[in-house]
Amino acid sequence: MIVGGGQSGLAAARAARDAGWEPVVVEGGDRPVGSWSSYYDSLTLFSPAAYSGFPGYGFPGRPDRYPSRDEVVGFLAGYADWLGVEIHTGTRVVDVTRAGTGFEVHGEDGRVFRGDAVVAASGAFGNPVRPTFPGLADFSGQVLTVAGYRSPERFAGRRVVVVGAGNSAVQVGYELAAVAEVSLAVRSPIQFVPQVRGGKDLHFWLRTLRLDLLPPSVLARLFRGTLVFDNGRYRAALDEGRLDQRPVFTGFTETGVRWADGTTEPVDTVIFATGYQPSLPYLAGLGALDPNGRPLHRRGLSTIDPGLAYLGLEFQRTFSSNTLRGVHRDAGFVINALAGRIRAGAPLIDSKGK
Ligand SMILES: Cc1cc2nc3c(=O)[nH]c(=O)nc-3n(C[C@H](O)[C@H](O)[C@H](O)COP(=O)(O)OP(=O)(O)OC[C@H]3O[C@@H](n4cnc5c(N)ncnc54)[C@H](O)[C@@H]3O)c2cc1C
């Protein structure tokens, strides 16, 4: 049973099918295309087409172009058809329970599915992080998360602060700066990485130098914080003052924000681009989550239940875990490990993986 019909759920279904299982995907939305259709309108992939396809199912078109959001939606819909596995759309999973040696997966619509193992692949887009700040409740301006942002028109002429230093914060801030006065409010300075180096896209180097395969612990030692892919335009916009980055504000006033240097400024809109957390309330009954609702797992395998696994978690196994190019590698690992654990009636691994 696979919860979620995005790239992660489809990759899990592919790996399960190839392992001789009968995967069933249960998707809350009306199409098995994940959250891509809800991303902002101007989004283009940070990976060229050549690095955005799936094994045996490449991304169409010129390999060096950066596909649009809608192309990804079409690509995933085509992949789901091509897979030919059982997919139920329009059923949001609300609970997963143990039943004998397997599981029951309960839909909001009353449907119940039974299976030997569960892969939770429901993404994080439905659960954007919105940090709290003093005074936020009394702020009279507009506050939203980047998950709710689609296009710049309705922000024209406004003073906008985008909180965050990742790819979404920079892309949205840059786009808004064409119509609005924009500051990026950051905890630490934005770290740009050139999209192209030595005439090759960054993804060529990630693959060639095998950086894509590095475990998160090694990465954390190499890089501090998020890297923002840039072909030069974002850094130029900052250098030319078309938008600025400054230390994040310390709190809200009724009409604006209080900056770190103590000055206050009226602001119309604050957009939090501060990341996402997996949303897995349907696993709470299994005791599979920590007190903050995060999955207890090691490399995607539940440390609580041998029949439960995850796919599409950020840095689940490597830098590329939660990407189009990396998810099938993780899917193969997770399905093989699940099969082994179930076959062997394997004991649970503890949180240290012993
Ligand atoms: C703005 C943005 C840009 C990105 N750009 C890139 C990029 O350029 N290249 C790249 O490789 N990666 C990119 N990513 C990262 C990643 O590839 C995407 O987030 C991708 O959508 C993750 O796929 P997923 O299947 O794990 O999750 P999702 O796409 O979120 O899919 C999860 C699915 O689960 C369903 N679901 C959720 N809860 C339930 C439930 N309870 N019951 C049933 N169904 C449920 C949802 O409806 C959804 O269809 C980007 C991410 C974001 C947010």
Dihedral of CA atoms 36, 37, 41, 45 in degrees, nearest 10, equals: 20
The label of the residue with tokens 């193992």 reads: 117
* Exposure on the CB side of residue 314, measured as CA atoms within 13 A: 10
pTM here?
A: 0.94
User: Which pLDDT value is given to residue 275?
Assistant: 94
Measured over the CA atoms of residue 305, residue 306, residue 312 and residue 314, the dihedral's sign is positive
**Taking a C-beta distance cutoff of 8 angstroms, is the pair 333, 340 a contact?**
no
The Å distance, Cα 6 to ligand 1 centre, comes to 6
Listing DSSP states for 163-221 in one string gives E--SHHHHHHHHHHTTTSEEEEEESS--EEEESEETTEEHHHHHHHTTGGG--HHHHHH
Q: What is the mean pLDDT of the chain?
A: 94
47 lines ligand 1 (CB under 6 A): yes
User: Residue 53: its pLDDT value, please?
Assistant: 96
Give me the residues of the chain with pLDDT under 70, please.
220, 223-224, 346-354
Ligand 1, atom nearest to 320 Cα:
11
DSSP notation for 264-310 = EEE-SEEEE---B----GGGGGGT-B-TTS-B-EETTEESS-TTEEE
Q: What is the pLDDT of residue 184?
A: 98
Can you tell me the distance from the alpha carbon of 133 to that of 141, in angstroms, rounded to the nearest whole number?
Answer: 14
In the block, tokens 């093989």 appear at 336
β-strand partners of 185: 163, 246
Ligand 1 centre from 9 Cα, in Å? 10
The CB of 164 under 6 Å from ligand 1? The reply is no
Residue to mutate (ligand 1; options 1, 125, 149; most atoms within 8 A of CB): 125
- 80: amino acid identity, one letter: A
**In the prediction, which pLDDT does 350 show?**
44
Note the pLDDT of residue 351: 40
Residue 149 CB–ligand 1 contact under 6 Å: no
